[in-house]
Structures are given as structure tokens and as C-alpha cells.
Amino acid sequence: MLSQKLFDEISNKISETIAASPAKDIEKNIKAMMGATFARMDLVTREEFDVQQEVLARTREQLTQLEARLQALEAAATPAADAPAADSEAH
């Protein structure tokens, strides 16, 4: 119990020292500089990437369904197109 209290006190003192030191300012400046650099690089967030990935997956699935539907319609239209030609040849 005593060691936990001592550890907490030391941790608090270190945190206070770092907060009052130039290290905190340096950290803020580096974060700001990195943020500006990433903004110029035109990167997307992981969330935006995941959303676009889901949209693409749904689009691919819909395309597959539409291709299958088109093939079925073309197959259905092909015998109908051949039928009148066969009838006219018989006459």
C-alpha cells in the first residue's frame, strides 16, 4: 500500500515537472507541425477509408447482381429474337 502511494506521488511530481518544463511546449509544437504536414499530404482518416471501403464493397455486389440480371435478360431475349426468324423461314 505504501509503495503504491509513493509511486503515485512520484508519478504526480514527474507529471507536474514535465507540464511546467519546455518539453510540454515542444510536444505541442511537434504535434501541430505534424498535423499541418499531414493536412498538406491530403491523407484520409481511417474512418473515412473504412466508409469508402464499405461503399465500394456494396457497389461491387450491386454490379455483380446487375451483371447477372443483364445476362438473364439477354438470354431470355435471344430465343425471342430467333423465334420470328424461324417462323418466317417456315412460310
* 42-62: pLDDT as tens digits: 778 899 999 999 999 999 999
- Predicted TM-score (pTM) of the model is 0.46
User: In terms of domains, do 28 and 51 share one?
Assistant: no
Instruction: Indicate the number of domains in the chain.
Output: 2
Q: What does the alpha-carbon distance between residue 29 and residue 23 come to, in Å, rounded to a whole number?
A: 10
**22: domain range?**
1-43
**Do 52 and 90 sit in the same domain of this protein?**
yes
Are 51 and 34 within one domain? no
Same domain? 33 vs 68: no
C-alpha cell of residue 4: 503504491
Tell whether 50 and 32 lie within a shared domain: no
3-state secondary structure labels for all residues of 7-76? HHHHHHHHHHHHHHCHHHHHHHHHHHHHHHHHHHCCCCCHHHHHHHHHHHHHHHHHHHHHHHHHHHHHHH
Same domain, 39 and 66: no
Per-residue pLDDT tens digits for 13-33: 888 877 777 777 888 888 888
Same domain? For 57 and 37 the reply is no
